[in-house]
Structures are given as C-alpha cells and as structure tokens.
Amino acid sequence: MSLKVSRRFFARLLGGSAAALSLSGLGALSGSVAEASALATPAHHPAKTDRSFPPGFLWGSATAAYQVEGAAHADGRGPSIWDTFSHTPGKVNNGDTGDVADDFYHLYAADIAMMKDLGLKTFRFSVSWTRIFPTGTGAANPKGFDFYNRMIDKLLHAGIQPYCTLYHWDLPQPLQEKGGWENRDTAKAFADYAGYTAGKLADRVHHFITTNEIRTFVEAGNQAGTHAPGLQLDQKRIAQLTHHAVLGHGLAVQAIRAHTPAHTQVGIAENPFAAVPVVESRPHIAAARKAMREENAQYLTVIEEGRYTDLYLKRLGKDAPKFTAEDLKIISSPMDFVGLNVYTPVYVRADDSEKGYALVPNPASYPTMASPWLYIGPDALYWAPRLTTELWKVKEIYITENGASSSDTVAPDGHIYDTDRLMYLRNYMKQLQRAVAEGIPVKGYFLWSLLDNFEWADGYSKRFGITYVDFKTQKRTPKLSAAFYKQVIEENRVV
C-alpha cells in the first residue's frame, strides 16, 4: 500500500523544481505584456503574509462513521437506517453499501500515519451510535468503545486533535421503527447516547459536535426521500420532525455538558443556506444577511436565537410545529462554537418584497463539480462565516466541512491529477483567508474528505477524498490535492 505522499512528487508540482515549472512560454509574450506583468508582480514572489492564516490555525480533515468505517457487523454493532436503506434495492447508486467502505475500522492506524504525513493538526470523525447502543437505547455495548479508544489514542500519539461528531445521520434502526425523528423520544434518546459517549471520551477529546447537517437529514432523508430513511413527509410532519431534531441537538448540548469537564467545548456542524450577495454592494449585502437568517429559520436561526422567525411561522400557518417556551430554551442552549459545512453559494439580491430579498437563480451553464448540486462559488466561504458572525455574534467558528467531488482517474504514471479539486480548494481557501484577515473568528478548517468514501445515495461513484481509494484493494494514493493541502498546512497560507 503506498501510503506515503511522495515528496518528490510535491517538490515537482509545488515549485521545488522551479526549473520544471518555470514558465517556459513567457519569452513568447509581447514586450508590453511581459513588461506590464513584471510591473504588477515585480519579484514574482508575493509577500508571505499575503494569504497567511494566524498561528495555530487548525487545519484538519473530516470523515463520518458510516462513510468510512465498514465493519458493519463487528463487535456487536447494531443496524442503523443507513444499513437498511443501502440494502434496499434501488436506493443507492449501483447498489453500494457501507458494509466495507474504506475499512477504516481496521486500517485506521495506517490512515492516521498518512494524516500525520500530511501535517494535519486535527481530525473530525463521527461515532456510530449503534456501536455504543446497538438498539439505540438500553444497555451500552462495552466493545463499542474499543475502536474509538484505540483510534483516539493513535491520533493523540500522532499529535492530532480529535473532534468528535455524535450524529452523522446513522440513526439506530429500532428508533426509526418507533417513528425516528418524528417521535419526540428520539431527541431524548439521542441526548442520552451523546452524554454517555462524550462522558467516556472526554478525558482525551475536548471538542464535541452534536449533530451533522440537520438540514440534510431532514430534507433529503424525510422530505425528498433520497437519503435514509427514505420518507416523503408532508410540510406539517416535516416541521414537527425538524423541531425534534433541533431539540435533540439542544438536549445533547446539555447532556454533554453534564457528563464532561468544564473545559469541554460543544458545538454543532450545520450546512447553512450560504447566502452570497450577488454583488458586493450595501443593499445586496443587507439582503444576503436577511436571507441567511430567514432561510435557516428552523435550523441555525432557532438554535442561535431561541425563536422561530415570524415569517417562518407565518409561512407554515397551521402546519407550524408545536413547541413550548421551554423547548426553545433547550434548543438555544449556549454553544462554544458553530461549525459550518460550506460547499455551495446561493446568490441573493435586494428586493422590495416582504422578505426584503430574492434568490437569484443560476443559469444552466453555471459550473459545478462532479456532484451536480455542487455549484462552485468560493465567496461562500467568506460570506457564510461573516454573516454568521454579524447575525449571531458567535464566539468561534470552524469550517467543519468544505471540499469537492471530482471525476478522478489514475493517470498512467500512477498519480491522480485532480486539478479541478485543487482549483476549488485554493479559491475557497483564499476567501476563507479574507474572512480570517478581517477578524472573523474562524479557528479551523476541516477538508471533506481525507479519503474517497461512501457518498450516501451516490455510493462510491462520487469521490471527495484528497486520497484516492481503490475500493477493491483498499489501496490509498494521495492525490495532487493532498500535495497542495500538505503545503498549505506547512506554510499556514494558501499556496
């Protein structure tokens, strides 16, 4: 298995061998163009500080249990809704399942060595609920912790800080049979599991993330039916289910705090509707701020403000969720940080409507990455943290996910030249740097993902890794983007 990122490969691609990369075509430029570009960039070496991040900025990568672990039946793990869904014919592309995935459950040590080689400062993983409580509630499975304990110890030994997500969509199947997130008891069961698990890990893990992308598991899983559990609920039922999900988050914040030392940091990873002003002018920026609040009303907004917006409740009318004042207090339990998963911008313009903004549709020619939903828009990584800070004055932000799918292939020389992913990452990171340089409190960035993995309903057909995985042999090969990321981390700046 070639787990080492080849240094010569980096050197060649990142300027170590300047000769090889020297712009041999430049001599052919007309005098005036060459002179002009020489004037614009006199030394051809922009100041090191240009794109740099503050010392201690946490560069990481992220994965999730069902997407990488495999070992679906090992050591007493019970079934989750994703086991059921992926084993239901027609639900996942090519009939793929997470039964084996990246076999991270067994290969974690080599993968952590690879993380160390990349220079990662931190690693975000999720715990599989049904490894700890095979049926979701009841007696814990002591063996369930063994893998996480070994993995966390390895991370710490490699100098990599663990960030632990407690729910990345793999609801225990028996809880789905009792109504899943439609059942208010699920929120309570989640908090019990989250508190118990955090309590067991908190001697070594200091950052916990309650839920990952409530928006996605609500809307794709329960409304569109394209993700597990594959339901298509109506508006009223979705509103109530969403309420239970944010309540589950709030109860989990409280349970984690109750079971862990005072220094433990608790937050969430949400994929906000990432409003980007279509033009950076005052009215459009104000419109984007309104859209960020309104379009996230039932997710981040209620979590941050402890109230549903008037427009959200008005829009739903008789379908609005039932809730109490106490619920809202729980949902808005104070967090230490907010995690933002940012992939795609939604352009917004000022408008005279009641909302004060309008969404700007993209034309068919708008560029995407390999996933058709993944519109490329680097500015999202500036505006999402900026608007989050302006709206809610959050203490700390992490970019808990950002990355891209690419139609990677192995070139005849054995390398994977994912130039499109590299272009994507570099441009998004420049916008993140802009945010940080303006004082927006982003403390770290988790690239999705370390490895190609089980991309939910797309199965293994969409690759998000900076490391190529041959799913037949489990061989890992770092891609060009891994070389790029290693250099970013080493220099603490966008290269």
* Closest approach of ligand NOJ to the CB of residue 403, in Å: 7
List the catalytic residue out of 294, 295, 401, 455. 401
Token pair in block for residue 193: 């599991």
How many whole angstroms separate alpha carbon 307 and alpha carbon 295? 14
Is residue 327 involved in binding ligand NOJ (CB under 6 A)? no
Inter-residue contact 371 to 408 (CB < 8 Å) = no
Residues 203-222 that bind ligand NOJ (CB under 6 A): 212-213
Binding mask 366-405 for ligand NOJ (x = CB under 6 A): -----------------------------------x----
* Closest approach of ligand NOJ to the CB of residue 212, in Å: 5
What is the Rg, in whole angstroms, of the alpha carbon atoms belonging to the chain?
23
Is residue 406 involved in binding ligand NOJ (CB under 6 A)? no
Inter-residue contact 155 to 215 (CB < 8 Å) = no
The residues near 15 (Cβ < 8 Å, ≥ 6 apart) are 21
Token pair in block for residue 237: 């039922």
Is residue 270 involved in binding ligand NOJ (CB under 6 A)? no
* Closest approach of ligand NOJ to the CB of residue 341, in Å: 5
Rule CB under 6 A: choose which of 125, 448, 468, 484 binds ligand NOJ: 448
Is residue 455 involved in binding ligand NOJ (CB under 6 A)? yes
Is residue 64 involved in binding ligand NOJ (CB under 6 A)? yes
How many whole angstroms separate alpha carbon 458 and alpha carbon 141? 31
213 assigned to active site: yes
Closest CA to 148 of 137, 139, 156: 156
Task: Show the beta-strand stretches assigned E in 318-420.
Answer: 337-341, 346-350, 357-359, 397-402
CA distance readout (Å), 125 to 67, 492, 495: 10, 23, 26
Name the burial class of residue 322, with classes exposed (0-12), middle (13-18) and buried (19+) by CB atoms within 10 angstroms of its CB.
exposed
* Closest approach of ligand NOJ to the CB of residue 73, in Å: 22
Binding mask 82-121 for ligand NOJ (x = CB under 6 A): ----------------------------------------
How many whole angstroms separate alpha carbon 73 and alpha carbon 59? 33
182 assigned to active site: no
Is residue 332 involved in binding ligand NOJ (CB under 6 A)? no
Nearer to ligand NOJ, 9 or 167 (CB): 167
Active site residues: 213, 401
**Contacts to ligand NOJ by CB under 6 A:** 64, 67, 212-213, 341, 401, 448, 455, 464
